[in-house]
Amino acid sequence: MKKFVVENRIWDKEESLPRAELAALQGAKLKETVARVQNVPLYKEAFSKSGIAPEKINSLDDLKRLPFTTKADLRGHYPLGMLAVDRSEVARYHASSGTTGKPTMVAYTQNDLKTWANLCARFLTGGGLLPEHSVQIAFGYGLFTGGFGLHYGVERVGASVIPAAAGNTPKQIMLMMDMQVDALVCTPSYALSISEFILQSDISRSALNLKHAHFGGEPWTEDMRVRIEDEMGILCFNNYGLSEVIGPGVSGECAVRDGMHISEDAFIVECINPETLEPVAPGEEGELVFTSLCKEAMPIIRYRTRDIASLNLEPCACGRTTARMSRVTGRSDDMLIIKGVNVYPSQVEQALLRVEGTAPHYLIEVDRPDRKDVATVKVEMTEKSFSSSMKELQELKDKIDRAIQGITGLRMNVELVSPNSLERFIGKAQRVVDRRRG
Ligand code: DLL
């Protein structure tokens, strides 16, 4: 099938400013943000403790003298202690996802909502969205920022939205076919479930008009992209964001697909060593830290994301000059340390996608019997490999074992499980059960 070709379009001139001009713009906006956060007790205190006069902050170098903001700070000020405006000025609330405890509430003024829609319009345009396209949004609509964030971004481009929301896969596919949808928006793991459903039913790919897809909200790998693109005959683009910073719209890929462009006129990005807290060099992996430059309701200073990625400051072939971030390879707090080796679930995924005969559905279970770490990867077989001989299955297990060891440097037990036996996700996938944490 012929793949869609993305026209190289840039939504805003701020995406391609000379770097010196961008730095001047950031400095001016930073001053406004610093003034605004004086309304937030946490920040007012931080400034006075570090002995820095807010009016003396002019650049990132000055900013670096301030402490970081962490998830714990936000939790400690639940629900609205980080608000920098009067509640009457808030137009909408969302919350960051989290499976345990209270969520982190985030707030937007009317201006924030406009900024947000515009930032989403940027990456959608970078990934080929045109005003004449119709877009199916299969993200949860609710406190999660994915659904509403992308919804208004698509509308801002002038395209039409089909707010399907997450779940009910047969209905998603029906809508996609009947409405001749051009673009799909969801998590990559849900896209995998949709693709799997299409392959298992007798729906012909030609019944779909899908051209491109915009995935985000969770880590995924290049191998996963190749798999989905081959199965669905579409182009898939990665976009990244987090509620505390704004939601989706922090960064996204352009047609070149060599990193996600960060909207640096809206956020200052730093990449640090999570242990020493010192900056790492461009190209080196570290934890991303963001300072917002345009947010009114909940501005944030030096937020430690826990997301591990690297930065590329070279201009891109697309004409944008903004820094690009690599894929997120994991979170510093999701990183598993097994027998002393640092392992990210995405590395296991990468290994599995390279072995034929496995479906890309897996679960990593870690236990510590007898004070020794034991990691088991449950991997689904494809229907074809499911009917293989014992000898072939043993060969498959060995291949997986070698692939995982090759990428992670670690041996894990491999357990082959029958097709469709592992849980499917309509939102963010849960790939790890770590029983060592009690
Ligand atoms: O997931 C915002 C979002 C929604 C982004 C839809 C893109 C698309 P939270 O629920 O607060 O917000 O979760 C944020 O999700 O710190 C990352 O760990 C992870 N994440 C988001 N996008 C990506 C991505 C939204 N493209 C957390 N690749 C972040 C890897 C991602 N991880």
pLDDT tens digit sequence for 373-432: 899 999 999 999 999 999 999 999 999 999 999 999 899 999 999 999 999 999 999 999
Query: Which of 307, 335, 430 for a ligand 1 pocket mutation test, highest count of atoms within 8 Å of Cβ?
Result: 307
For position 135, what pLDDT does the model report? 98
Pair (342, 246) in one structural domain: no
What is the best residue among 218, 326, 432 to mutate for testing ligand 1's pocket, by most ligand atoms within 8 Å of CB? 218
Looking at residue 121, what is its pLDDT? 98
Contact status, residue 191 vs residue 236, Cβ threshold 8 Å: yes
Q: Which of 296, 331, 366 is the last residue of a domain?
A: 331
Q: Are residues 28 and 48 in the same domain?
A: yes
Structural domains counted in the chain: 2
- Same domain for 324 and 376, yes or no, is no
CATH of residue 372: 3.30.300.30
Instruction: Name which residue leads in pLDDT, 437 or 192.
Output: 192
Phi/psi-derived region of residue 30, left when phi > 0, alpha when psi is between -120 and 50, beta in every other case:
alpha
**C-alpha 239 to ligand 1 mean position (Å):** 8
Atom of ligand 1 nearest to the CA of 250: 5
Decide whether any atom of ligand 1 lies within 6 Å of the 331 Cβ: yes
Q: Is the pLDDT of residue 2 over 80?
A: no
Instruction: Please say which residue of 331, 349, 382 terminates a domain.
Output: 331
- Domain match, 407 and 347 both: yes
Token pair listed for 43 = 């920040």
Looking at the structure, tell me whether residues 410 and 349 fall in a common domain: yes
pLDDT of residue 199: 92
User: Which DSSP state fits 63?
Assistant: H
Same structural domain for residues 324 and 348? no
Task: Measure the CA–CA gap between 184 and 180, rounded to whole angstroms.
Answer: 11
Residues 97 and 200 in one domain: yes
Q: Which of 10, 34, 83 is nearest to 292 (CA)?
A: 34
Please list, in sequence order, all residues whose beta carbon lies within 8 angstroms of the beta carbon of residue 76, skipping any fewer than 6 positions away: none
Which stretch of 163-167, 198-202, 277-281 has the lowest confidence by average pLDDT? 198-202
Same domain, yes or no, for 362 and 392? yes
Indicate whether residue 217 lines ligand 1 (CB < 6 A): yes
> 332-375: per-residue pLDDT in tens?
877 888 887 888 898 899 999 999 999 889 999 999 887 888 99
349's tokens: 């995924």
* 324 and 344 belong to one structural domain: no
Q: Which of 102, 250, 328 to mutate to test the pocket of ligand 1 (most atoms within 8 A of CB)?
A: 328
pLDDT tens profile 169-222: 999 999 999 999 999 999 998 999 899 999 999 899 899 999 999 999 988 999
Q: Which of ligand 1's atoms lies nearest the C-alpha of 104?
A: 11
Q: How many CB atoms lie within 10 A of CB 438?
A: 4
Can you tell me which atom of ligand 1 is nearest the CA of 244? 11
Average pLDDT over the chain, rounded to an integer: 94
Question: What pLDDT does 436 receive?
Answer: 86
* Burial readout 116-148 (b: 16 or more C-beta within 10 A, e: otherwise): bbbbbbbbbbbbbbbeebbbbbbbbeebbbbbb
How large is the average pLDDT for residues 104-127?
Answer: 98
For residues 262 and 391, membership in a common domain is answered with no
Domain finish residue from 299, 331, 363: 331
Q: Are residues 129 and 157 in the same domain?
A: yes
Domain containing residue 260: CATH number? 3.40.50.12780
Is the Cα torsion angle 108, 113, 118, 123 positive or negative in sign?
Answer: positive
**CA 40 / ligand 1 centre spacing (Å):** 25
Decide if pLDDT at 59 tops 70.
yes
pLDDT at 90: 98
Confidence at residue 438, expressed as pLDDT on a 0 to 100 scale: 52
Q: What band does 242 get if pLDDT is binned at 50, 70 and 90? A: very high
Whether residue 359 is found in the same domain as residue 311: no
| Assigned token pair, 179 | 């409405």
In the predicted model, is pLDDT for residue 274 greater than 80? yes
Predicted TM-score (pTM) of the model is 0.90
Beta strand 90-95 pairing with 134-137 = unpaired
Predicted pLDDT of residue 437: 61
Average pLDDT over residues 81-93: 98
| Structural domain span for residue 60 | 1-331
Q: Quick check: CB of 153 below 6 Å from ligand 1? A: no
